[in-house]
Amino acid sequence: MYKTQRGLSLIEAAMVLALAAIVISGSMYYYQMAKENENRNEVMTTVMNIIATVNKLYIDYGFYKPYTGLSPALIQDAIPNIKLDKHNGYIIQPGGIYINVEPMSQNGGYLYTIELHNVPISQCENYSTMLTAIGGNFKKAWIGPTGQGWYPFNGTPQAIRAQLFGACQGITQGTVTIVAGLIT
């Protein structure tokens, strides 16, 4: 007499587990990508709000007037829903990214910088694209891989974007800080 088989054999059970693992890992990958995109969109919305706020507070300062008093705290006063980190004073963003805003003098003139700290390598090119597409007031950029020096870039926004892309592709681990220099 033959026994009727109930349930799965060991091989069948292993195949079911393998398929489940593939489905789970695929869904985790897409979840991670969706989360990074959501974080990026929120960060860039904050950056655009910061630019609009600076443009209102420092009307027509251009390259010839210092952006005195510009700081994350001033931005927080103008945009109340922004939260500042208690330790470094930077603007807190999702995904561990921090934003700093400060005045800068260079080559006998003035501009202000927006610094994005702790940008994941996987998002470096995306942030570079968005930062260089913010309009005519964009003047220069810097990128700094974790634990390394700064790479400065000048030129048109398109040329700077290409230079930032090249730098992003050369960075293989850790996080980066991307800085945009602007005027009003």
The position carrying tokens 């990508």 is: 33
**Tell me, what's the pLDDT at 49?**
92
pLDDT of residue 18: 93
pLDDT of residue 171: 83
Give the pairing of strands 151-154 and 98-106. unpaired
* Regions in the chain scoring below 50 on pLDDT: none
CA neighbours closer than 13 Å in the CB half-sphere of residue 153:
24
- Determine the 3-state secondary structure of 172 from DSSP: coil
* pLDDT given for residue 98 in this prediction: 94
Provide the pLDDT for residue 84: 95
Given the structure tokens 């930062």, which residue do they identify? 131
At 3 the pLDDT is 66
Name, in order, each residue with C-beta under 8 angstroms of 145's C-beta and a sequence gap of 6 or more.
171, 174, 175, 176
Question: Which CATH code is given to the segment(s) 10-182?
Answer: 3.30.1690
Structural domain spans, the chain: 10-182
Report the pLDDT value the prediction gives residue 139, as an integer from 0 to 100: 83
Name the residue among 184, 123, 130 with its Cα closest to residue 161.
130
Per-residue pLDDT tens digits for 124-178: 888 888 887 776 578 888 988 877 778 888 888 788 888 888 888 888 778 888 8
